Amino acid sequence: MRDYGDTIAFLGEWGPFQKSIFFLLSLSTTPNGFVLMIMVFVAGVPLHHCRLPQLNYSSTFLELNQSIPIEETEGKSFLSSCTRYRMTEENTPEFYNDTEGCLDGWEFSTETYSSTIVSEWSLVCEDAWKVPFSVTVFFFGVTIGSFLSGQLSDRYGRKLIVFATMAVQTTFCLLQAAANSWELFCVLYFFIGMGQIANYSAAFILGSELLSKSIRIPFGSLGIPMFYALGYICLPLFAYLIRGWRMLLVASSLPGFLYIPLWWYIPESPRWLLSQGRVEEAEAIIRAAAKKNGVNAPDVIFRAEDYMELMETNDKKKSKHVYTLLDLVKTTNLRNITILQMIIGFVINITYFGISLNTSNMDGDPYLNCFFSAATEFVSYGLSWLFLHYASRRFSLTFILTVSGGTLLLIKLVPAELNGLAVFLVMVGKTAITAAFCFIYVYSTELFPTVVRNMGLGATSMASRIGSIISPYIIHIGKYNKIIPYILMGGITTVTALLSLLLPETKDEELPEHIIQVKPLRCLCMKQKPTIEYETNENTRAENGHQLSV
């Protein structure tokens, strides 16, 4: 039986069919850019102080100064957000020198945001922890969604999961806009996180299986990421025009309904259909693609008996060769690769989401800061594509991480009056870490052997999700000192850049098929030999009598 790629080679590489799939599937990920970063504005923290029955927010600073203590942060004076002077008698303008909490609630400025979940539910002072926890709940949903999406798409098909998860994301965003409590908001945000990552992953898989080999890398490194960045860059524009959090969520949800007609233009993956024995459906899709490309399809494209035999063979192999997560740590070489990749993914996610979600804490206009942060994504994906094509993997990853970590550490040295320079350094760091975010996925694919590649990528992904779960709390530190988050992120990113030097080079080399073929770390002067027992196990697992060398 011929290889699937050879069988459909008559379609060509880049015809109208491939172009429409590339564009439509990439376009389907645009709302993800909205959903992932929208908390920058939905959970924005307006200027606020204790509510005073005898005064209002429009009172002069001098009047408020008589009833609210002054605090200094980074050389600037602010009215205290959580305390006020204790009143001598109720509803009189006289106060004691000692302080008390905000017993009558808070007054929030509407200069930047007309409303946020912070101002609506008073998520400040002793309840300030609820803001980063809301984002953490979202990333918990992302973690569960990334775990389930692969299994669901393998069982029910790529196309169904793409549209089902898009519906979940859109529907729960609309419901979230009507949430009447912080607790309900978080529950809904969990399901939005599940839908967001599952939609992105399923679209990536479907496109990779529908497009030819030469188009897959541009699709994965430019197509889907660029349209995600398009949604991200539209977010600050929408948020600037819509200052209330509820209407902003509604506006970000509505584009999801525009994708309903795509159901009739995006086909199911023929590869998946063949794996399920649905040969006639797969052949119908390929014939429709041939017609769209203006080429003639052969009389018989797929022979049903060949694919039924292949399914039986695969079932036998699955029952005979069962790899588990323990295989990732049984041999020294693979164990080292797994641990290093988990550390790198963990740190990249902390820094990427830390910078992206921290734009509201930066000096300057939060809408412009978010716009600049989104704009760097376009530059980052272009740089990642160039590095993947023209530079070695080790040098590229180390260089990108060093630039990101170094620029973030330099922010500490920037004088307070040069706020523009500090923002510029943050954006350079954001550009570099985003490039690493895209780059590391391809590098990981080349490091793990075929027999455990999915499990290796899954372990790396889980470590990365832990990093994203932690990132909101690093941002929360910025409420008290804006420099510390950058020092933390810059420090761990720089250390990770040094660790990445230990990884083996994989550019222009054949992908490892078996665990025995995994390369040792570069710091080892001797080739790592597997144990005799494990070598025997590997040989018994090798397909078709493949000979493995020690």
- Whether residues 222 and 244 share a domain: the answer is yes
Task: Give the range of the structural domain holding residue 393, as residue numbers without chain letter.
Answer: 323-550
Q: Is 39 part of any domain?
A: no
- Whether residues 184 and 266 share a domain: the answer is yes
Q: Is 114 part of any domain?
A: no
- Whether residues 208 and 218 share a domain: the answer is yes
pLDDT of residue 548: 33
pLDDT of residue 441: 76
Per-residue pLDDT of the chain (550 residues; tens, 9 = 90+): 456 667 777 777 788 888 888 898 888 888 888 888 888 899 888 888 788 766 554 455 455 666 777 777 666 677 777 887 776 665 555 555 677 778 888 888 888 888 999 989 988 888 888 888 998 899 888 888 877 776 777 778 888 888 888 898 899 999 999 999 999 999 999 999 888 888 887 887 788 778 877 787 778 777 888 888 888 898 999 999 998 999 999 988 888 888 888 888 888 888 778 777 777 888 888 888 888 888 887 777 766 665 555 555 555 555 555 666 777 778 888 888 888 988 998 999 899 988 888 877 777 788 888 898 888 888 888 888 888 888 888 888 999 999 999 999 998 888 877 778 888 898 899 999 998 888 887 788 778 776 666 667 777 878 888 888 888 888 878 777 778 888 999 999 999 999 988 888 887 777 676 778 778 887 644 444 443 334 444 444 443 433 333 2
Domain final residue pick, 273, 304, 321 = 321
Q: Is 548 part of any domain?
A: yes
Buried-state track 242-274, b at ≥16 Cβ within 10 A, e below 16: bbbbbebbbbbbeebeebeebeeebbbbbbbbb
pLDDT of residue 511: 66
- Whether residues 23 and 89 share a domain: the answer is no
- Whether residues 25 and 64 share a domain: the answer is no
Angle at 378 between CA 375 and CA 384, to 5 degrees: 135
pLDDT of residue 117: 92
- Whether residues 473 and 495 share a domain: the answer is yes
- Whether residues 357 and 471 share a domain: the answer is yes
Question: What's the structural domain count of the chain?
Answer: 3
Going from the C-alpha of 417 to that of each of 370, 414, 481, the distances in angstroms are 21, 8, 16
- Whether residues 151 and 62 share a domain: the answer is no
pLDDT of residue 307: 58
pLDDT of residue 1: 46
Q: Is 288 part of any domain?
A: yes
Three-state secondary-structure class, residue 276: coil
Q: Is 37 part of any domain?
A: no
- Whether residues 2 and 81 share a domain: the answer is no
pLDDT of residue 530: 42
Domain final residue pick, 263, 293, 321 = 321
- Whether residues 231 and 269 share a domain: the answer is yes
The model carries a pTM of 0.78
Q: Is 204 part of any domain?
A: yes
CATH of the domain at 331: 1.20.1250.20
Q: Is 274 part of any domain?
A: yes
- Whether residues 158 and 192 share a domain: the answer is yes
Three-state secondary-structure class, residue 304: helix
Domain final residue pick, 282, 305, 321 = 321
- Whether residues 506 and 361 share a domain: the answer is yes
Give strand pairing partners of 99: 85
Q: Is 87 part of any domain?
A: yes
Report how far Cα 128 is from the mean position of its chain's Cα atoms: 24
Angle at 534 between CA 514 and CA 500, to 5 degrees: 55
Sign of CA dihedral 199, 204, 209, 212: positive
Query: Rounded CA gap, 499 and 490, in Å?
Result: 14
Query: Rounded CA gap, 443 and 305, in Å?
Result: 37
